Amino acid sequence: METTNFTVSGNIIDVVQKRIFKGNIQVENGIVKKVTETPCDRDCYILPGLIDAHVHIESSMLIPSEFARLAVVHGSVATVSDPHEIANVLGVPGIKFMIENGKKVPFKFNFGASSCVPATSFETAGASLELKEIEELLSMKEVRYLSEMMNFPGVLFENADVIAKIKLAHQLGKPVDGHAPGLKGDDAAKYIGSGISTDHECFTKEEALGKIKYGMKILIREGSAARNFEELHSLVDEFPGMVMFCSDDKHPDDLVVGHINLLVRRALAKGLDLFNVLRACTYNPVHHYKLEVGLLQEGDNADFIIIDNLKDFNVLETYINGIKVADSGKTMISQVNETPFNNFNISEVCANDIKIKQQAGLIRVQEAYDGQLITGSLEVEPLLDDGFVVSDPERDILKLIVKNRYSEAPAAIGFIHGLGLKRGAIASCVAHDSHNILAAGTDDESIVKAINLIIRSRGGISVVDGSIEAVLPLPFAGIMTVEDGYSVAEKYRRMNHLVKTLQSTLRAPFMTLSFMALLVIPDLKLSDKGLFDGKTFTFTQLFKV
């Protein structure tokens, strides 16, 4: 794909000067050569391309080049991407793969240096990034920032390694992203005062306002699982310079439907100011992260989109560096072939491996919420079978398993409420943050079958319903595939449909499951090492005496 010299005409939306005018844009060698205000008959609108201010590309289950093929159709020209997921599996080589693969397509991936790998010391990951690895990554011109500092206790208690990573980023002139769900008051002030500049984890407006007060920018997130737009959208007009839009995690079927353009459409439908909305996904991230993404100013890179109108916001064409990458809902980016590499080192399991004897009265059960990463904590009487605690689908108390995928070790066993399965089981190796195998189900045999499907595929998602066994293999790091994104989206839709036939009412059951081992988000979670209390940041017991 080569750039050409051309001129486009229409209603030009200038997000810098906050004005709309009819005119022409002259593009030469991928650069906006001249912008001329002049009458024209074309009724379309031309504006800067959209930017996702925080996303884990890996959660699309696609490698970066394939993610780009789908995203450009929706007007996205750039992402601020935390490669935290592949870093937990493969370390620095995994991050470097993401960077190099992203360079093979006309799309502007802006990767970060993952600050917390592993996310905690309470789980088993496939790699670790110490200060020397962070320095290596931050010294690369392709690495734009220090990505989400999940270890907020380490910041608050001034852990030497944590503070050293933050200071190193500042010395190199690169911003630091935050990750501090629920942090308020003096703790929020100290966390932000350390030099952490953004947070995408606010799930109440009160929390967001408190962080803005201390100078933190809020990323309004609407992904496949965590969805905070309805709670936070009013911030766009109230604090227009302090907000950005992001998806955080986007599964392939959702990415086929839309990306940041959907947030823009919803924000405009709520009557929010056009320029405040557009700046949240163009001007604000460009200036905060110092991105090399054009804003339709003379001398800028020619990164822009053409839409039909300001209500429907349908993307007609997308250009990156003057290259047309999408036209009329079709991607113009070719597929990139890559050879998968992985980190998967365990043998299959049997039903005896996931049995647990009753030890005391009540059991602690984590409660999943649709559309949220946070979980609740319940204490319930367990269902027993011959002295063993088993799943109780009638009460939606299902056995939950986390199985270390990096080395042979006993499975961790817990229980979960909120998945809603009435029969069968599901499993996934997309399991934040360490990407061990997560599985839940109504009986031990189904759970074991679902886990073994993942092991045989060296990563993926699976569903078991009696004699029906389905798996979507993800052989690249156990969390991605090199297949065509549209094909993957269709396969994923079919897998989701199978889960719905098991009577789960969750909008995105695999995405929700994937966060049940995310220890840095309270309340109760399960790691491969045991049940974890996210409030006290310590292990706890399954059985409550």
Q: What confidence tens digit (pLDDT) does each residue in 78-89 have?
A: 999 999 999 999
**Which residues 6+ apart lie within 8 Å of 238 measured at CB?**
none
| Gap between the Cα atoms of 296 and 15, Å rounded | 8
Q: Is 228 helix (H, G, I), strand (E, B) or coil?
A: coil
Side chain identity at residue 457, one-letter code: S
183: left (phi over 0), alpha (psi -120 to 50) or beta: beta
Residue 455 has pLDDT above 80, yes or no: yes
Same domain (yes/no): 384, 281: no
Q: Rounded to an integer, what distance in angstroms lies between the CA atom of residue 453 and that of residue 462? A: 7
Looking at the domain assignment, is residue 337 inside a domain? Answer: no
Residue 181 token pair: 């769900």
pLDDT in tens, 350-381: 999 999 999 988 999 999 998 677 899 999 99
pLDDT at residue 239, as a whole number: 98
The structure tokens 């078991």 sit at 464
Q: What pLDDT does residue 1 have? A: 64
Chain mean pLDDT for the chain: 95
Residue whose entry in the numeric block shows the structure tokens 């405009």: 268
Q: Within a domain: residue 37?
A: no
Contact (Cβ atoms closer than 8 angstroms) between residue 78 and residue 107: yes
Tell the residue number behind the tokens 């924000």, with chain if given. Answer: 267
In a domain, 144, yes or no: yes
- 237 and 365 fall within a common domain: no
Number of separate domains in the chain: 2
| Same domain for 276 and 360 | no
Mean pLDDT of the 406-414 span = 97
Residues spanned by the domain of 425: 351-544
Q: Are 382 and 467 found together in one domain? A: yes
Q: Tell me what pLDDT residue 354 has.
A: 98
- The pLDDT tens digits for 221-247 are 998 777 899 999 999 999 999 999 999
| pLDDT given at position 511 | 85
Is 44 a domain residue?
no
Q: Is residue 163 part of a domain?
A: yes
36 domain residue, yes or no: no
Neighbours of 423 (CB within 10 A): 15
Which residues make beta-bridge pairs with 12? 21, 46
114 and 219 inside one domain: yes
Share of the chain above pLDDT 90, in %: 90
* Residue 226: predicted pLDDT: 75
Q: List, in order, residues 6 or more apart from 132 with CB less than 8 Å away.
A: none
Give the mean model confidence (pLDDT) for residues 155-180.
96
Q: What is the mean pLDDT of residues 326-343?
A: 96
**pLDDT of amino acid 3:** 65
Q: Are residues 207 and 289 in the same domain?
A: yes
Closest CA to 168 of 111, 115, 98: 115
Report pLDDT digits (tens) over 88-139.
999 999 999 999 999 999 999 999 999 999 988 899 999 999 999 999 999 9
User: What percent of the chain lies above the pLDDT cut of 70?
Assistant: 99
The angle subtended at Cα 501 by Cα 499 and Cα 504, nearest 5°, is 55
State the CATH number of the domain containing residue 178.
Answer: 3.20.20.140
- The answer to whether residues 413 and 504 belong to one domain is yes
The pLDDT value recorded for residue 2 is 65
Compute the distance between CA of residue 229 and CA of residue 266 in angstroms, rounded to an integer. 9
* Residue 142 DSSP symbol: T
72 with 331: CB under 8 angstroms?
yes
Q: What is the mean pLDDT of the segment spanning 457-479?
A: 97
Together in a domain, 383 and 502: yes
Q: Is residue 40 part of a domain?
A: no
Q: Pick from 294, 312, 339: which residue ends a domain?
A: 294
CA-nearest of 484, 490, 430 to 462 is 430
pLDDT surpassing 70 at residue 164 = yes
Residue whose entry in the numeric block shows the structure tokens 């990750």: 179
Distance CA 100, CA 55 (A): 18
Would you say residue 4 has pLDDT above 80? no
Domain end, chosen from 266, 294, 322, is at 294
Output the pLDDT for position 203: 86
Pick from 517, 511, 521, 513: nearest CA to 250 = 511
Q: Do 286 and 407 reside in the same domain of the chain?
A: no
pLDDT tens-digit series, residues 487-534: 999 999 999 999 999 999 888 899 889 989 999 888 999 999 999 998
Whether residue 33 lies inside any domain: the answer is no
Same domain, yes or no, for 163 and 74?
yes
Where is the domain boundary, 261, 278, 294?
294
220 and 73 share a domain? yes
> What is the per-residue pLDDT across 415-443, written as a single tens digit (0 to 9) for each?
999 999 999 999 999 998 899 999 999 99
